[in-house]
Amino acid sequence: MWRDALLVAGKDLRIEARSRVGLWQVVPFALLALVLFAFALGPGPVALRAAAPGLFWLAVLFSTVLAIQRSFAIEGGEGTRDGLRLSGLDPAGIFLGKAAAVALQLLVLQLVLFAGVVLLFGARLHTPWLAITASVLATIGLSAAGVAYGALSAGLRVRETLLPLLVLPVLAPVLLAGSRAWAAALATSPAGGGQLLKILGAFAAVYVVVGVVLYGPLQEAA
Amino acid sequence: MATVVELRTAVALAGRFPALSGVDLSVEAGEVVVVLGPNGSGKTSLLRTCAGLLNVSSGTAVVLGCDLREDRVAVRSRVGLLGHAAPLYDELSARENVRFATRALGYPTDRVDPALERLGLVGRLRRTPVGRLSAGQRRRVALAALVARSPELWLLDEPHAGLDAAARRLLGELVEEAATGGAAVLLSSHEPDLSVPMADRVVSLAGGTITSSSPGGRATKLSVVDLPAPLGAGGSNVA
Amino acid sequence: MKPVVLRSIGVAAIVTTAATIWLGLWVTPPDKVQGDLVRLVYIHPPIAWCALYLAFGLAALSSLLYLWRRTRSMFWDRLAASAVEVGVVFNALTLVTGSIWGRPTWGVWWTWDARLTSTALLLVLFLGYMALRRVPAEPEVRAKRCAVAALFAFVDVPIVHFSVVWWQTLHQGATVLNANLSPTIHGSMAWTLLLGFVAITLAFIWMVAVRYRIEVLRDEIGEEELEVSLAERRAESGTVEAGFASAEATPTMALQPRPEPAGHPGPTVVSRATSTPATSSRSRCSSSTSSASSYAGAALSAPSPTWPHGATPFSRAPPRTARRDNARRPPGRRRAGTRAPEQTAAPSAPDRRLRRFGGRRSVSPLRGAREFTQLLRHRRPGAGPETPARHVDDPARRNGRPRFRDPNGLGCELLGVGGQPGRPRRERGFATGTLPGQHPRRGGRALRLRLVDDLLVQPDHGEALRRLHREPPRPRPGRQRHCAMTSPGDRRSRPAKRVGA
């Protein structure tokens, strides 16, 4: 399973490196979202600084949806989807490989977004370890749940509209916990950080396990 | 001879549509069977069913010893399907694609280069991303992946489509090599002139069922026949 | 679930809900703090409980059981879909009743209370499930996909709950609105609350059962359409020979007998047909149900279905099977109605066969082979020769009744569809039958039949009979008596008499 995961992750990342879609489309979309939020909330720095963590995670969430769609568009053709099924790869390995590739892209995205938030919204980080841990855990959870739901809707013609509807409610706890964690990290007093990390960790663990177990039947049903 | 494919009154559904409506087919190892039929008769569905991709809802379907009604996932890694659309990633080069296919099965990667050479993909063709190659060249890459995997059952869906004359000759050679190597080959075609000579058996499919079966152009069996010998000579003659 | 049980649950639900409403609105006293508003406590918590725990818990459990190979069956998938759909409705009702309660209490329609928020999120999660269910696909594929989605959503529920609770409690400047919606309950209020729980749970169960039934009917329609498309697909091949290679998927009403097992001297073993196919045009069905005439008449007034290439599924079946059967049987034993090439008639064999059906106790020729052979074994020895039925298939005397061959090869003429089985018609050559898989005492329809010699089968008659399988029975003023079903199972009612007397 791990060998298959490495193979699939390598394949996805190599394709991403050649095509640079994530770099040139998903990251600009996230930055664009930040700018649009600023338009929506008004230019007052106080409001933006207070809202910065939530807006950061909201942008991450929407970019996750895009990243998942891109990840499954790699296997867009009829031939490649069948090819993946016929390749003899362990479905759990395929799941972990795809999730790992998406997670790496999301981490890069968050770095860029963090820079954007610091610049655009004037936020300042006081406890970096909380922010980093929260980001890593949240990314694992986002990519696992996202790839699972992406596989669910990958083979359908209505996938563009179905995927956001399915995956965003599921990712809502990550948004909740992540934004509160970043609020604590950006503020001077990190209150309740432990509880949040527990929630993020539980989400990530649950969805990785559930995804590994159920990806086989999922690939059949797609 | 081991029976590689055994289908009896198999009904396969693609969505709500009965793609195969009762197929009786049996293919032995080392046999080349060509499936002819009009458009929409279910040739592609037959091949996909044998690959374990379509759901068999009734009848018997046993491929390479795996019962397709019980668990059709197990058979997938043991067959090689060449469909209409080649299972290639456009951004990766031919070499990387074939390498991915071989490593996915756990085979060592020293098979990759010989397979590419056999299919005539050398030099620059190996390194360009597959998306930039022509359709015929993409087919060759897909065939190279198939050759590198060397499955026990070859399922080729209209393999002659899009190939030039040299590639068609090459395909004939590959099929012959596969069959003599002990694999079973099941291919569907619209061109009887090209495919019947390489077949042991020609089967025609219409409306999701097999309507006739006749021998093909490939001599496969040597039979020892006792001919009446002239007086004074003994022994049997081989025909 | 039996219709009786379903109806009684529905009635009980209505009664208890009415009782709850009466008790809640008039009998119980108002609360000190909240006044009359507290009467919502008798329905709001029960609805919330049904929606969140019962419905979605049931959906998750059913999905899990569907995915586990050992218990895989479409029952679980349909149950999950029904539970989610009803659960979504109850969830919406929870939010609505919660808002109604909250407006006078808090002054606003909505507040980001922990419970309300997680309930709203749950609603959206399962709306996603319903959207997924509507995507067209094969039943098994759709079932697997929806089961996985339900499990994903269910697994998210505790995480959502904890995170929202935490999020709400840690909110700076805690809400001025007191989210305490549960007043103290005592006395008659407690009983009413309990009754409310029971009422809403019964209503929930009834709705899930009805929704399940709708799913079953939908799937049956889908299967019948599949049979039709299977037949059409085969007809594409142009030759009917190939199309009838499979006995299992043949869309007939068990008109194709399988070969006899070795050593069995009796009639051919019959395979029960799966489901009979729908007609190719629905309008014919509706037009015939609306007519007041008998089914036989209505069936024949409709034109026969047009099959591509002029091949019908039945045009060749009887001769082919006759050929196959006759090849396997010992010579001299031919099915009634088929002619041996060297004889014009086979007097002994048909006589014997018809004799088994003659007499007072008629036997249905359409039942399964097992029962038929059991009946034969119980035939009383020493019975004398009886005159065979003299009904001959004379086209001039058909009176518009459909004729067909039963699985054992006997020619039958359909006189009508009966209601409850009554006393047997005491005349030779008459029989009662049912369609395979049915029993007249358990909801099946008894067909009154007359046995005929020398049957000339027309394809559209088989078609008419197939359509009967799907139309509901109707009482008609019949002058003919109903024959009782005789089978080993009926021995309870008539223990003394034997079959074939």
Question: B108 touching C, CB under 8 A?
Answer: no
Helix (H) or strand (E) holding C451: strand C447-452
What integer pLDDT is reported at residue C377 of this predicted model? 34
Question: C245 touching B, CB under 8 A?
Answer: yes
Question: C68 touching A, CB under 8 A?
Answer: no
Looking at the DSSP assignment, which residues form a beta bridge with residue C448?
C416, C432
What integer pLDDT is reported at residue C441 of this predicted model? 54
Condensed to tens digits (0 to 9), the pLDDT of residues A213-222 reads: 988 888 877 6
CB within 8 A of C109, min separation 6: which ones?
C99, C102, C103
B153 by DSSP, 3-state: which?
A: strand
The pLDDT confidence band at residue C396, using thresholds 50, 70 and 90, is low
What integer pLDDT is reported at residue A196 of this predicted model? 83
Which two structure tokens, joined as six digits, stand for C372?
């038929």
Give CA separation, A161 vs A78, C40, C47, C128, C152, in Å.
20, 38, 31, 11, 19
The structural domains of chain B, with segments of one domain joined by +, span: 3-90+150-238
Best of B91, B138, B154 to disrupt the A interface (most A CBs within 10 Å) is B91
Question: C142 touching A, CB under 8 A?
Answer: yes
CB within 8 A of C430, min separation 6: which ones?
C362, C448, C449, C450, C451, C483
Contacts of C159 in chain A (CB under 8 A): 173, 199, 202-203, 206
Question: A163 touching C, CB under 8 A?
Answer: no
Q: What percent of chain A has pLDDT over 70?
A: 97
What integer pLDDT is reported at residue C455 of this predicted model? 61
CB within 8 A of B177, min separation 6: which ones?
none
Question: B92 touching C, CB under 8 A?
Answer: no
Question: Per mean pLDDT, which range of B73-82, B217-226, C77-86, C200-209 is the poorest?
Answer: B217-226
Helices (H), B67-213: 94-105, 112-118, 124-127, 135-149, 165-180, 192-195
Question: C136 touching B, CB under 8 A?
Answer: yes
Question: B59 touching C, CB under 8 A?
Answer: yes
Question: Per mean pLDDT, which range of A147-161, A179-193, B157-171, C88-102 is the poorest?
Answer: A179-193
Record: contact A86-B77, CB cut-off 8 A? yes
Distance from CA of C248 to the nearest CA of B (A): 8
What integer pLDDT is reported at residue C359 of this predicted model? 37
CA distance C93 to C100: 10
Report, as an integer, the average pLDDT of B143-155: 90
Condensed to tens digits (0 to 9), the pLDDT of residues C339-359 reads: 444 444 333 333 344 334 333
C456 by DSSP, 3-state: which?
A: coil
Residue found under tokens 């693609």 = B14
Question: Does residue C433 surpass a pLDDT of 80?
Answer: no
What integer pLDDT is reported at residue C420 of this predicted model? 43
The closest of A132, A129, A140 to A171, measured between CA atoms, is A140
Report, as an integer, the average pLDDT of C264-276: 32
Question: C225 touching B, CB under 8 A?
Answer: yes
Record: contact B76-A79, CB cut-off 8 A? no
Q: How many helices (H) and strands (E) does chain A have?
A: 9, 0
Record: contact C233-B13, CB cut-off 8 A? no
Record: contact A170-C67, CB cut-off 8 A? no
Amino acid at B129: P
The closest of C148, C230, C205, C166 to C11, measured between CA atoms, is C205
Condensed to tens digits (0 to 9), the pLDDT of residues A46-82 reads: 888 888 888 899 999 999 999 999 998 888 777 788 8
- Burial-class residue A112 by CB neighbours within 10 Å (0-12, 13-18, 19+): middle
Which two structure tokens, joined as six digits, stand for C461?
């008659």
Helix orientation angle between C56-67 and C74-106, rounded to the nearest 10 degrees: 160
Helix (H) or strand (E) holding B4: strand B3-14
Which two structure tokens, joined as six digits, stand for C88?
């979504």
- Total structural domains within chain A: 1
Q: How many helices (H) and strands (E) does chain B have?
A: 7, 12
CA distance B147 to B177: 10
Condensed to tens digits (0 to 9), the pLDDT of residues C135-172 reads: 877 788 889 999 999 998 888 888 887 777 777 765 43
Question: Does residue C286 surpass a pLDDT of 50?
Answer: no
Q: How many Cβ pairs within 8 Å bridge chains A and B?
A: 67
C109 by DSSP, 3-state: which?
A: coil
The structural domains of chain C, with segments of one domain joined by +, span: 3-171+186-226, 240-335+348-471+478-492
The closest of C77, C21, C63, C51 to C207, measured between CA atoms, is C51
Question: Per mean pLDDT, which range of B129-138, C9-18, C294-303 is the poorest?
Answer: C294-303
Report, as an integer, the average pLDDT of B109-119: 87
- What is the complex's ipTM, to 2 decimals? 0.83
Condensed to tens digits (0 to 9), the pLDDT of residues C33-70 reads: 767 777 777 888 888 888 888 899 999 999 999 988 88
User: Which superfamily does CATH assign the domain made up of B3-90+150-238 to?
Assistant: P-loop containing nucleotide triphosphate hydrolases (3.40.50.300)
Question: Does residue B37 surpass a pLDDT of 70?
Answer: yes
Question: Per mean pLDDT, which range of B152-156, B198-202, C270-274, C494-498 is the poorest?
Answer: C270-274
Write down the mean pLDDT value for chain C.
Answer: 62
Report the first-to-last Cα separation within chain C, whole angstroms: 39
Amino acid at B96: E
Question: Does residue C389 surpass a pLDDT of 90?
Answer: no
B interface with A, Cβ–Cβ < 8 A, is 48, 51-53, 73, 76-77, 79, 81, 83-89, 91-92, 96, 100-101, 103-106, 129, 142
Which two structure tokens, joined as six digits, stand for B7?
């289908």
What integer pLDDT is reported at residue C463 of this predicted model? 53
What integer pLDDT is reported at residue C400 of this predicted model? 63
A202 by DSSP, 3-state: which?
A: helix
Q: Are B189 and B36 contacting, i.e. CB atoms less than 8 angstroms apart? A: yes
What integer pLDDT is reported at residue C207 of this predicted model? 92
What integer pLDDT is reported at residue C495 of this predicted model? 40
Best of C167, C170, C172 to disrupt the A interface (most A CBs within 10 Å) is C167
What integer pLDDT is reported at residue C384 of this predicted model? 35
Amino acid at C449: L
Report, as an integer, the average pLDDT of B87-108: 89
Question: B210 touching C, CB under 8 A?
Answer: yes
Record: contact C248-B58, CB cut-off 8 A? yes
CB within 8 A of C155, min separation 6: which ones?
A206, A207, A210
Question: Per mean pLDDT, which range of A49-53, C126-130, C263-267 is the poorest?
Answer: C263-267
Residue of higher predicted confidence among C255 and B165: B165
- Contact partners for chain B, using 3 or more CB pairs closer than 8 A, are A, C
Q: Is pTM, for the whole model, over 0.90?
A: no
What integer pLDDT is reported at residue B24 of this predicted model? 87
Record: contact A79-B103, CB cut-off 8 A? no
Going residue by residue through chain A (222 aa), what tens digit of pLDDT does each one get? 888 999 999 999 999 988 887 788 888 899 899 888 888 887 777 888 888 888 899 999 999 999 999 998 888 777 788 888 888 888 999 999 999 999 999 999 999 998 888 888 777 777 788 888 889 999 999 999 999 999 888 877 777 888 998 889 889 888 888 888 888 877 755 566 778 888 899 999 999 999 999 888 888 776
Question: Per mean pLDDT, which range of B144-148, C240-244, C425-429, C435-439 is the poorest?
Answer: C240-244
Helices (H), C292-403: 295-301, 317-328, 348-357, 369-377
What integer pLDDT is reported at residue A136 of this predicted model? 93
